[in-house]
Amino acid sequence: METRRVGNSDLAVSAIGLGTVDFGGRLEESKTRTVVAKALDEGIRFFDTGDNYNQGRSEEILGRALRGHRDEVVVATKFTGGSQRYRADGSRSHVLAACEGSLRRLGVECIDLYAMHHPDSDTPIEETLLALGELVAEGKVRYIGISNFMGWQIAEASHTAERLASPRFIGCQMEWNLLARHVEDEVVSACRHYDVGIMPFYPIASGLLTGKYTRDRAYPRGSRFADVDYYARIASADNFAKVEALTEFAEARGHSLLELAMSWLSGQPGVSTVLVGASSADQLERNANAIDWKLTAEDREAIDTLLEAFRGRSPMPFNHEI
């Protein structure tokens, strides 16, 4: 699989990364080992987790699954903390303590990419950057990143790091797909301007962009659309209309909707890796092999024109209050 640099750093990651939010939750440990083994077989070398994924069990399970492969892979995790939803605790004391916890659960001596899961409006970004700089200096973290930041927050952090001569954020995770394009207004532009690698998650809109869900049909038991209100809101009449139009577009060119969704995103300027989840080895293989379609500029313009017909309010990103 193709490898890419994250922003203008020396960190190289696979074009597809495996997100592990379901490890230790919807996906039991025996199945995670199968999924991780398949990821390695497919050439996936970037694995992403977080300290709040299933109360830290995701980190523990991922660490055990990667034993014997540590030198082959890039491991990323995120710190959260705090009592409010969608806000991380960026205070020095929390950042240092959270890193120690993640190192222990992962069973590693150094985290390749350590990211702030959400912004923290209560802590100056200077304090967070300096704390992360301590971890880099101590060899506990190689590079630092962010997730779910707004465009102005990316700019502020970049300028602050330059002023402090501290390590800078090299990668930003964000929700981005053909049905959720809110980040294009500011976040994507800020990442490109400040050389921050773009790491989209939910590339297939939790399955809506695979074609396995259809309007007016009950969702499978245990699926996100059946169990979680946010995902049920994504499955709107407007989005199903988009899915039908995009499916027709892809099939007219000899491709599937999944190939369109993954290739459209992977081919965007500045994208370092596309984060996918998987509940089975077969599902992971399909996702990993769906990025080979090289869309032309004309293809992309046609997609934009097609979606212009649907100008209804886009769903808010999952990590913001509605």
CATH of the domain at 201: 3.20.20.100
Note the helical H segments in the chain. Answer: 29-41, 57-65, 92-106, 125-137, 151-164, 187-193, 224-227, 229-234, 237-251, 257-266, 281-288, 297-308
Query: Longest C-alpha distance within the chain, in Å?
Result: 55
**Mean pLDDT in residue range 81-92:** 84
- Residue 78, amino acid: K
Average pLDDT, the chain: 91
> Is 155 within the bounds of a domain?
yes
Q: Is residue 160 part of a domain?
A: yes
In this structure, are residues 191 and 150 in contact, taking their beta carbons and an 8 Å threshold? no
What's the confidence (pLDDT) of residue 90? 97
pTM of the model: 0.92
Return the closest-CA partner of residue 77 out of 66, 87, 62, 89.
62
Name the least confident of 39-48, 208-217, 254-263.
208-217
Q: How confident is the model at residue 32 (pLDDT cuts 50, 70, 90)?
A: very high
Give the orientation angle of helix 237-251 with respect to helix 297-308, to 10 degrees.
Answer: 150
Give the pLDDT mean for 118-138: 97
Quote the pLDDT of residue 218: 65
Catalytic residue among 53, 114, 143, 213: 53
Residue from 148, 152, 69 nearest 115 by CA: 148
Q: Checking DSSP bridges between strand 111-116 and strand 141-147, what pairing results, if any? A: parallel
Range of the domain at 179: 3-206+264-292
Instruction: Indicate the number of domains in the chain.
Output: 1
Average pLDDT over residues 202-215: 85
In the annotation, is 53 catalytic? yes
3-state secondary structure of 168: coil
Contact in structure between 100 and 139 (CB atoms under 8 Å): no
Residue 322 has pLDDT above 50, yes or no: no
Question: What letter would DSSP give residue 301?
Answer: H
* Phi (first) and psi of residue 92, to 5 degrees: -55, -45
- Rounded to 5 degrees, φ, ψ at 141 are -140, 140
Per DSSP, the chain holds a count of helices (H) and strands (E) of 12, 10
Residues 254, 158: Cα–Cα separation, whole Å: 42
- Compute φ and ψ for 113, nearest 5 degrees: -140, 115
